[in-house]
Amino acid sequence: MSDRKTLLQKINEASFAVNDITLYLDTHPADTEALQFFKKAMNERKAALEEFESQYEPLIVDCVNPKENNKNGFATDYPAQEHWTWGDGPIPWDNVE
């Protein structure tokens, strides 16, 4: 599995954990263990998204940073040029190596 796919898998797993624990916390808002798990999962998700963004392209609009995204020129028509990076790279479900 490529580094890109491995990182996407890590993001998917962390995102699933965040979504799942969020549902639980909706009905158990004072569960301290669940809150700790939520914080851990969110931190893992944020770190993985930032790593992916720095190496490839932003996956969520919150990660778009025209001056910083895609400095390595991965799958872009505008390498080394400040641009709207949201459209860079393949769509995650295209299964590109």
CA distances (Å), 44 to each of 39, 68, 78, 89, in order? Answer: 9, 21, 30, 23
pTM of the model: 0.71
Torsional class of 91: left (φ above 0), alpha (ψ -120 to 50), beta (otherwise): beta
**Total residues found in the chain within this entry:** 97
CB 2 within 8 A of CB 97: yes
Q: Is 11 exposed, middle or buried (0-12, 13-18, 19+ CB in 10 A)?
A: buried
Dump pLDDT digits (tens) for 28-47: 989 999 999 999 999 999 99
Position 4 scores a pLDDT of: 87
4-13, 20-29, 49-58: least confidently modelled range:
49-58
Position 54 scores a pLDDT of: 83
